[in-house]
Amino acid sequence: MTLDRRAVLAAAAALSVAPRVNAAGRAAPVATTTAGRVRGADVDGIKVFKGVRYGADTAPRRFQPAQAAQPWKGIADALAYGPASPQSKIDEGTSEDCLFLNVWTPGLADGKARPVMFYVHGGAHANGSGSSPLYDGTWLAKTYDVVVVTVNHRLNCFGYAYLARLGGPELADSGNVGNLDLILALQWVRDNIAAFGGDPGNVMTFGQSGGGAKCVTLMAMPKAAGLYHKVATMSGQHVTAMGPIHATIRARAFMEKLGLKPDQTEALKTLPAGQLVEALKMRDPLERKGGIVFWSVVDHGVLARHPFYPDAPRESGHIPMIIGNTHDETKAFLGGDPKNFALTWEELPGRMENELVLDVAPEHVIARYRELYPNYKPSDVFFAATTAGRSWPGHLIQAERRAQIDAPAWMYQLDFGAQTDPKMGAYHSYDIALVFGTLGAKGSMTGTGPAAQKVRDQMSAAFVNFARTGDPNGAAIPAWEKYTLPRRSTLVINEASAMVDDPRKAERELFAVAPFMKEGT
């Protein structure tokens, strides 16, 4: 489905009416941005603005850096989420006119200068939006007196197709325009968030999975400098971005799938968006599995280096950072297949081979796990080893390389597992609801019982403390020490959390024999 957001905004901007009131009789909140006024809603005492435009329609500038929002007259309604970027996995409206953000705040222009928590959604740079019920900022804003922002930006080929070596100079930044959208949104925060009760000098970017990876990538992009002041990643394991040669191979293959030659980038700019989305289903020309991959590219321009290779970027070394992971990451990807919970020892090597990123013989890995955990069943080894050999190493490398340059970092491991489906454990993305306090939202498996509330209160408080001061410590958690070498101190989060030096050390050492590159790079 495609939503014509321009028509909606144009109609709203044409009307200048008296303030509306909600069911409780309170006037609808109105905030003033640099582009015009917006009208939100009052929800449980929190002022909520959804679908606030921060950038112009990207369709006329496909594959090019976006432009800021054009000014409007009157008051534009900010009562519904804006469309998401075109994508293949979606249950909401999509459009290339997708540069909208959402704000939750306890007060408007009241001089309180609240910390700003700027969340970037996950979805492997390919899917998702800032409108998931899991990311609703009402509870966070109300409980901790903070401003929460979520954001939509260009994804997949629209945000990351690297055409610089195939087209004209206007396409030089095409491999990173999705990241440049995020920078544009952060510039909007800098210029406007005070009107929403936030402090533009105290902005924490945080994100889960691909969202965390984008936050990490911004740390290596000079254009983002000064727009954020803390970073927290939740399973955002990017160490490397995509190289320009591999990115060009993918761009050529994608164009061929669309019936275009490599020199026909002008035609690619004007094909219907739906046709591009359909082509995303093609097999990736370089990977063994899945659809074609598009994400951040080392283009020797806006992204001149890999996020955490060969070291942590020193230009952001002063930025405090939380680096988090979940104990059972791959159950989010592999737990949907019942067969993976009933594997035999004979089936295990072949099943594991295609799921490891680190190139270590499955038979060797299995033998070591059977020594370490003699009570493990084949499926237990499968999920543990694929996590340790696929989704965990990137987090470790980020923390290690921060420690090597004495850059402040705190690491956590979430062990508290799914309450509504215990076999899923602490799967990839499980920590989102615990940070946002959206325990009962669609997509959450935390349940709303006392155990989940205990963990929620710890994680949310630590993230807010970090956003407020640059240090996650507070009364809700044990003293959280910084990650240093060789101790590798990590906060293991559960109903009763504890500091552990080098958790899962033997598993870490098992896979440390092989070099890690993010899958797809």
Q: Which amino acid is residue 497, in one-letter code?
A: S
Is residue 323 a contact partner of residue 398, using CB atoms and an 8 Å limit?
Answer: yes
pLDDT of residue 290: 79
pLDDT of residue 391: 80
Domain end residue (candidates: 199, 219, 234):
234
Domain end residue (candidates: 182, 204, 234):
234
Is residue 78 a contact partner of residue 15, using CB atoms and an 8 Å limit?
Answer: no
Residues 21 and 157 grouped into a single domain: yes
For residues 74-91, one letter each, b for 16 or more C-beta atoms within 10 angstroms of the residue's C-beta and e for the rest, the string is: ebbbbbbbbbbbbbeebe
In a domain, 503, yes or no: yes
In a domain, 477, yes or no: yes
Name the band, by pLDDT with cuts 50, 70 and 90, for residue 26.
low
Is residue 386 a contact partner of residue 371, using CB atoms and an 8 Å limit?
Answer: no
Q: What is the C-alpha separation between 374 and 370, in angstroms, rounded?
A: 5
Backbone angles phi, psi at 134, to 5 degrees: -65, -25
Share of the chain above pLDDT 70, in %: 95
In a domain, 73, yes or no: yes
Residues 215 and 330 grouped into a single domain: no
For residues 307-316, one letter each, b for 16 or more C-beta atoms within 10 angstroms of the residue's C-beta and e for the rest, the string is: bbbeebbeeb
Give tens-digit pLDDT for 198-238.
999 999 999 999 999 999 999 999 999 999 999 999 998 78
Q: Count the domains in the chain.
A: 2
N-terminal to C-terminal alpha carbon distance within the chain? 31
Q: Please give the mean pLDDT across all residues of the chain.
A: 92
Closest by alpha carbon to 351, among 376, 381, 375?
Answer: 381
Prior bond to 310 cis, omega within 30? yes
In a domain, 264, yes or no: no
Q: Which amino acid is residue 242, in one-letter code?
A: M
Per the structure, the complete domain to which residue 67 belongs is given by 5-234
pLDDT of residue 404: 96
Q: Which two tokens stand for residue 399?
A: 């923390």
Give tens-digit pLDDT for 396-413.
999 999 999 999 999 999
As separate numbers, helices (DSSP H) first and strands (DSSP E) second, the chain gives 16, 14
CA-to-CA dists, residue 96 to 155, 169, 358, 514, angstroms: 10, 22, 36, 41
In a domain, 97, yes or no: yes
Domain end residue (candidates: 234, 268, 303):
234
Give tens-digit pLDDT for 151-168.
999 999 999 999 999 999
Residue 13, pLDDT > 80, answer: no
Catalytic site residues?
209
Residue 280, pLDDT > 70, answer: yes
CATH number, domain of 75, equals 3.40.50.1820
Q: Which of 2-6, 22-26, 46-50, 310-314 reaches the highest mean pLDDT?
A: 46-50
Residues 221 and 328 grouped into a single domain: no
Question: Which of 4-18, 38-52, 380-394 has the lowest average pLDDT?
Answer: 4-18
Average pLDDT over residues 260-277: 96
